[in-house]
Amino acid sequence: MKTKTNINILIVVLAIGLATWKLMANKREMDEVSARSLIVNPTVPVRIESVKKQGYAGDIRVDGRIQAANEVVLYSKVQGIVLKKYKKAGDRVNKGTVIAQVENNVIKESLGLAKMNLAGAETDVERYKKLTEAGAVTQREYESILITCREAQRTVTELQDQLNNTTLVSPINGILETDYFEEGTLLTPGSQVADFVDPSQLKAVATVSESDIYAIRKGDKVLLTTDVLAGQEFAGIIDVIGSKGNSLLNYQLEIKITDKKAGILKAGMYASARIMIDKTTSDAELMINRSAIIESLKNPEVYVVKGNKAYKQKIAVGKALDNYVTVKSGLGEGDCVVVAGHINLIDGRDIEIIQ
């Protein structure tokens, strides 16, 4: 029994040894192939461009969100229970369309009594006026009756306003976007009743850095794109430029969408805006071709050519233009960077420059 166990152990050891030998042989073969490939093709063909200082015609790119130009929140001005709900979220409404009715019996009764009091006060005013002219009452007594009449008129006006506000109506033409009540809901003064959106007029809201804010003027043309509607552009103009920056030193822009086909856009969509600036910047900046970037713009790296070799270099970038980006640090004017042929490059690899 012991002899059989030893034989089994020996077989396992031999199998492991054979597998290890095979793996080592495969590795030696792969290393030889790699070495032969380096001998056959020791250099990598690349295209290069020089880093230059230059001004640039301004196309400023920002991201933002599409909003309705007219969004209104309706608040209750009275207290009472909703007796009837006529419209619900998603319904199209016109300005003045009744959306709900709040109980108003108590207000009606109070208003009727107030109107009676006002009628009596107006009668007293006429009577005291004649008595004052006849010298039967003093001017002060007449003025006191006038004050009483005015108070009665104010009460009637307030109650009439309350009665009017028990009928909830749409303040704009558009869509009842959201409602916050049902039949039986108790509304209180100041409570939010509904949100209304006019989808016929849209705008895009975005922020721009302080370094770009002075290059933008009201009326500048803008082209908007969205990921949802890929390949389509929508025309607009700069309508509002914020005068106060936020905590990140960015300023808000409002872009009025003027395109005739803007009706297919919806409030809430994310959009990219290209603001077309006519003038060229007076201060030249270091710039490189965007194709030189081998990582993302958030973690940019390039291959810098020194002699006949290419070395990987981290850089910091600024503005992203159409085909170029400005360089804040990591490169100097006159440096050469690889713009094509990165796929076969490694740090320190020999290169062959081609046209």
**For residue 53, what are its two tokens?**
């200082």
pLDDT at site 4: 55
pLDDT at site 15: 63
Q: Model pTM?
A: 0.58
Q: Which residues have a Cβ under 8 Å from the Cβ of 339 and sit 6 or more positions away?
A: 47, 48, 49, 289, 291, 292
Q: Which residues have a Cβ under 8 Å from the Cβ of 283 and sit 6 or more positions away?
A: 55
- End-to-end C-alpha distance for the chain, whole angstroms: 77
What is the arrangement of strands in the sheet containing 316-320, beginning at the earlier edge strand? 52-54, 285-289, 324-329, 316-320
Looking at residue 113, its amino acid is L
What are the contacts of 117-124 at 24+ separation with CB within 8 A?
A: 117/152, 117/155, 118/149, 118/152, 118/153, 118/155, 118/156, 120/152, 121/145, 121/148, 121/149, 121/152, 121/153, 122/149, 124/148, 124/149
pLDDT at site 38: 47
Cα–Cα dist 292/47, whole Å: 10
Handedness of CA 213, 214, 218, 224 (dihedral sign): negative
Per-residue pLDDT of 53-100, as tens digits, reads 876 656 788 899 999 989 999 999 999 999 999 999 999 999 999 999
Cα–Cα dist 67/338, whole Å: 42
Backbone angles phi, psi at 309, to 5 degrees: -125, 160
Per-residue pLDDT of 243-283, as tens digits, reads 898 888 889 999 999 999 988 999 889 999 998 876 555 56
Low-confidence ranges of the chain (pLDDT < 50): 33, 37-40
* Contact assessment for residue 318 and residue 346, using Cβ atoms and an 8 Å cutoff: no
**For residue 161, what are its two tokens?**
């306003």
Q: Which helix (H) or strand (E) holds 81?
A: strand 80-85
